[in-house]
Amino acid sequence: MGDRDFLEELFAPVGRVELKRMFGGLGAFSNGLMFAIVIADVIYLKSDDTTRADFAAEGCEPFTYPRKDGRAVSLSYWRMPERLIDEPDEFVRWSRAAIMVARNADTAKGDKAKRRPKAAPKV
């Protein structure tokens, strides 16, 4: 699944998706927001409280990696159900949901920055 040509073809129906090297794999971006990562031939889609139950219901696991101290770190990306490779309409639906999650996270991040008090100017 990590083959770039295959991934470009797979994501084509989703809309304009840019693939960039990262984390030893590829990140999939829509309008500058990363909504999927591909690591070791596995596609992980961005998830939040609104979509996490869908992944769990499919028996999928979150993307994790080990820290230097040996503890596992979990990100907000969950393994995509493998059946979606053979179900293009469902793949598009799940991918667009991941894009929406990425947009919502970006908006929330911007809202937090706006609420943060500005530092007093240095005199």
1 pLDDT higher than 70: no
Percent of the chain past pLDDT 90, that is, above it, reads 69
> Does the 4-105 domain belong in CATH 3.30.1460.30?
yes
Segments making up each domain of the chain, as ranges: 4-105
Q: CA 36 to CA 57: how far, in whole Å?
A: 19
pLDDT tens-digit readout, 28-69: 999 999 999 999 999 999 999 999 999 999 999 999 988 889
pLDDT tens-digit readout, 102-119: 999 988 766 444 444 555
